[in-house]
Amino acid sequence: MISAGIDIGFEATKAVIMQDGKILGRAVGFSGGRKRKENAEKVFEAALADAGIAREAVEKVFATGKGMDDAVFADDHYSVTVALARGAAALCPEATMLYSLGADETLAVVLGEGGKVAEYAINEKCMAGIGSLLKYLAIRLGLSREEMGSLEPTDIRVNDGCVVMADQDVLSLLNNGVEAKKIASAVTTAMAYRAANVYNEITLPAPEKVALAGGLAGNGAFVRELEKVLSLSFTVPEDYLYICAAGAALLAAD
């Protein structure tokens, strides 16, 4: 059976086409503002094209993510937590925990048997928007994605209370002539502290093998800082962006 999963996140939409537990095609695109439904359609079509599959060949499409309702073509939907757990069981089966670091949401899931959720924790409102902050900070500071991912540690500190407070400190530092990369590094560390709170909410952690998912998993500097804060080593699966979409596709095939 060929199934598809689409994960409509706060910033990015990810889609995969799967068969027998393997990804045939994948695509990522901007989720969009007013044109979210159209963008979801475009990303889905792009995934089909990547797989070389006609739409009619897909038996079921399940949606997930904050914007799951925008996938009007989906047959059903599942929450991110459940989709992540299911996706992790297939794409990183040796993982004991999944730690998803997205534009808006940070989520930790302890993985149970057969792709079930044993325990989970999601950020509270004060911890929202970590990924978005780093993305828009990069644009404002004129730094590329690669530069953001390879930032060196810094002694400069910004408020780690929430993205709003960190952003306030950015303005002060800019006014004081602090170098852009140092500011970005300070914010990266602060956001790592915020994200760590979600991991610490878990009552029965399983740190043996923690896999990362979501856009920030591809930011080397952020991952490094998070590892320092939590004294852990993380695994970043090859398809870290698509674990949630894959989970939705697998749930469709189940």
Smaller CB distance to another protein: residue 35 or 116? 116
Distance CA 162, CA 3 (A): 39
Q: Which of 42, 53, 57, 79 binds another protein (CB under 8 A)?
A: 79
6 touches another protein by CB under 8 A: no
Per rule CB under 8 A, is residue 111 in the interface with another protein? Answer: no
Measured from the CB of residue 209, what is the shortest distance to another protein in angstroms?
Answer: 21
Residues recorded for the chain = 254
Residue 22 is classified by DSSP as: E
Q: CB-wise, 90 or 184, nearer to another protein? A: 90
What is the chain's Cα-based Rg?
Answer: 18
Chain-centre distance of CA 135, in angstroms?
13
Query: What minimum distance in Å lies between the beta carbon of 124 and another protein?
Result: 6
Query: Binding of another protein at residue 176 (CB under 8 A)?
Result: no
Q: Is 125 in the site for another protein (CB under 8 A)?
A: yes
Report residue 119: phi and psi, to 5°: -160, 155
Query: Can residue 97 be called a binding residue for another protein (CB under 8 A)?
Result: no
Per CB under 8 A, does 99 bind another protein? no
- Indicate the angle between helix axes 220-230 and 180-201, nearest 10 degrees: 50
Whether 240 and 212 have beta carbons less than 8 Å apart is answered as yes
Residues that bind another protein (CB under 8 A): 66, 76, 78-82, 116-117, 119-120, 122, 124-125, 201, 203-204
